[in-house]
Structure 1
Amino acid sequence: MTNPQKSTQLPVCYHPTLVVLVDDDTAFLESAAFQLSTFQPVVTFDDVHKAAAWLKNWFANEQKSAPPLRVSHDDLTFSLERRTVQLEVDHIFRQIHDIRRFLQPAVVIVDYEMPQMDGLTFCESLRDLPCKTILLTGTATELVAVRGFNEGLIDRYVRKGSDGSLPTLEADLAQLQKEYFIEQTYTMYDLLRRHSYAFLSDPAVARAVEGIMQQYQLVEYYLYPNPSGLLMLARDGKAHLMVIETEAGLLTHVEAAEAYDAPEALIQGLQNLELVPFFWPGAGMYTPACVEWIDYCVKATPIEGKETYYYGLFEMPKHLLPQNITNHFSFIRAFDSDPDQMLGLR
């Protein structure tokens, strides 16, 4: 279950995922899958053993393909402060190549009353997997669900067929998908936040990101290395870069701009914390190649959190992105046409 402190953090990445629905009632499976959002792919199982086998196999294969994460240290001092993250942050946003990212079974919804195995026992069999679980209960089984919740076997429970159960289920799905990514990336996050990504641990930044995602109808984001920020994608793959700076970072930009005799208006804007730059021709910093400097700057929007951050939202130049982005629209079309083939179920 998620640590309450972690629930306010910003995951290293976030994108739409798959929901797994397990129930011996095939009519209910069809109805529930149909009622969930058009953009929420669902895989259904009426056999708990097949469901458990598929989930375990999926996560086993995923772990084999996960990028290595190593920590190195100074061989002479073994200083914790001198440890470095041996992980290319580029790998995080290059997931946009891989359609399998949308197949992650982040949340499993399971009925309690099933003949092969009750839902709580099924969740016990998944205890070592990172997926989040929602137990569907009847009135008579709510006390069982509370016990499962308290023992850490389930993350939520919803009364099956009750008024308002669908909105409750959709709200729980959204929250648990976020918690899934927080827990999946926590080791990576804990290392990254000690370097140039302290904003990951600031709840104020997390709230700002959520607001931007809603305002611009963005559905996924990934940590971006240079400049530090988040690469954000809409469902059709249109990309924005949320550049996140500190006062110290903006003053570093001032020094670089002064070294190249940049226009005074640019220097003043940076000194006054009024501009956030994205000087992509100069690998992030001002150079004479950025003579039309206004094209590379936007108004700074402050975020008052544990410290003050300043962000700017830019349309991402296409030539800076990896080729062949797999967007969520194209995934939905492929999934709808042949889900079993994509899921390896035949």
Structure 2
Amino acid sequence: MDLTLPIYQHPTLVTLIDDSQTFLESLSFQLPHQLARRAFHDAEAALAWVRDAHRTSSPFNITVGYDEEVLSFERRVVAFNVDQIYRMVMNRHRFQLPAVLVVDYGMPQMNGVAFCESVNALPCKKILFTGEADERVAIDAFNSGLIDRFIKKSDHGALDRLEYEVRTLEHAYFCAQSHTMRDLLARHSFTFLSDPAMATLVDQLRRQYGFVEYYLFPNPSGILFFDINGKPTLMVVETEAGMLAQMEVAQDNGAPRELVEGLQDMRLLPFFSDTGMYTDAIEQDWLSYCLPARHCAGKQDYYWALFDLPAHMLPGPVYSYADFLRDQGAVC
């Protein structure tokens, strides 16, 4: 797995394209039920649907503003609301994105390479499913950049490899989609986005706790995870400088000595989810807002903890991946 942390990632709709309805039904039956998919035996219909799905998909609303006094090119600024990232979880259509296409080569309307060439301008990743005789064609298509992977249907373990490559390419899709924003954010308040150690940690947490989607969270900075049923968990991430800054705020506001020392020693990480920082209410119950800080050694030291996110911190009810799978006819 690429050690890159996209600013968001969620399950998508794997698109299967093969002229054999029988093969599509067999393939769909054998793939894991938590891998949502849509099948087409008509290449033209698939092409129209994929193009439309990407045309109507716009994850970010980025605006360009101007200095009010000097309307010069040099004074242009890019305005981006980081809250938009985690608010994507409110979009119930997010799972319908065709990020990865699995295309048969030998189709009568248009062969798989021609199909991939037709969608080459789109950001979706492409896997060519071929027979033995088509291997040279697939290699040429891969070397030309028309496809991202090719798998022979006759290969031993072809379905296991297909599942692995779908998940790998889905991750690569989100890395590519969020590359520019990630680099900009990593230069400011979210340095952990560019650290391979944090990317590895997020992947480990996702596997350990069964998280299926995550989003950059702005305040406090961290990663907001969701499991298949839409339960939110916030990974609060602090640097050493951030911990010491919190300690100074705690001291200035007369926080309990135990909290100040815990921050100074990098032992405690607070998350004041339903109250202001260091108010009178904290004086009696501050421990309920703190968890032991865990350490991640990367390009710099990071301290993190996993907190349950209260419902009031989300703008509305979450349409979960389990809801989507049920609506797609899958059984969770």
TM-score by length of 2: 0.93
Instruction: Please tell me whether residue 101 in structure 1 is matched to residue 94 in structure 2.
Output: yes
Instruction: Please tell me whether residue 308 in structure 1 is matched to residue 301 in structure 2.
Output: yes
2:37, 2:54 → 1: CA distance? Answer: 17
Please say if residues 109 and 135 of structure 1, whose CA atoms lie closer than 8 Å, have aligned partners that are also in contact.
yes
Instruction: Please tell me whether residue 13 in structure 1 is matched to residue 8 in structure 2.
Output: yes
Counterpart in the other structure of 1:288: 280
1:287, 1:302 → 2: CA distance? Answer: 27
SS of 1:280's partner is coil
Please say if residues 135 and 156 of structure 1, whose CA atoms lie closer than 8 Å, have aligned partners that are also in contact.
yes
Which amino acid in the other structure matches residue 111 of structure 2?
D
Q: 1:316 Cα shift? A: 0.9
**CA deviation vs aligned residue, 1:229-286 (integer Å, no higher than 9, x gap):** 0111111111100001001111111011001111111111101111111122445x43
Instruction: Please tell me whether residue 145 in structure 1 is matched to residue 160 in structure 2.
Output: no
Q: 1:238 aligns with which of 228, 231, 235?
A: 231
Root-mean-square deviation over aligned CA pairs:
2.2
SS of 1:62's partner is coil
Which amino acid in the other structure matches residue 59 of structure 1?
H
Q: 1:68 Cα shift? A: 1.9
Q: 1:68 aligns with which of 61, 64, 72?
A: 61
2:211, 2:78 → 1: CA distance? Answer: 29
SS of 2:306's partner is strand
1:218, 1:138 → 2: CA distance? Answer: 36
Q: 1:55 to 1:215 in 2, by over 3 A?
A: same
Please say if residues 64 and 77 of structure 2, whose CA atoms lie closer than 8 Å, have aligned partners that are also in contact.
yes
Please say if residues 227 and 243 of structure 1, whose CA atoms lie closer than 8 Å, have aligned partners that are also in contact.
yes
Please say if residues 235 and 306 of structure 2, whose CA atoms lie closer than 8 Å, have aligned partners that are also in contact.
yes
Total equivalences in the alignment:
328
Q: 2:164 aligns with which of 164, 168, 171?
A: 171
Please say if residues 254 and 278 of structure 2, whose CA atoms lie closer than 8 Å, have aligned partners that are also in contact.
no
Q: Which runs of 5+ in 2 are unaligned?
A: none
Please say if residues 71 and 85 of structure 1, whose CA atoms lie closer than 8 Å, have aligned partners that are also in contact.
yes
Moved more, 13-22 or 92-101: 92-101
Instruction: Please tell me whether residue 336 in structure 1 is matched to residue 312 in structure 2.
Output: no
Q: Which runs of 5+ in 1 are unaligned?
A: 338-346
Instruction: Please tell me whether residue 210 in structure 1 is matched to residue 210 in structure 2.
Output: no
Please say if residues 72 and 83 of structure 1, whose CA atoms lie closer than 8 Å, have aligned partners that are also in contact.
yes
Please say if residues 273 and 309 of structure 2, whose CA atoms lie closer than 8 Å, have aligned partners that are also in contact.
no
Counterpart in the other structure of 2:25: 30
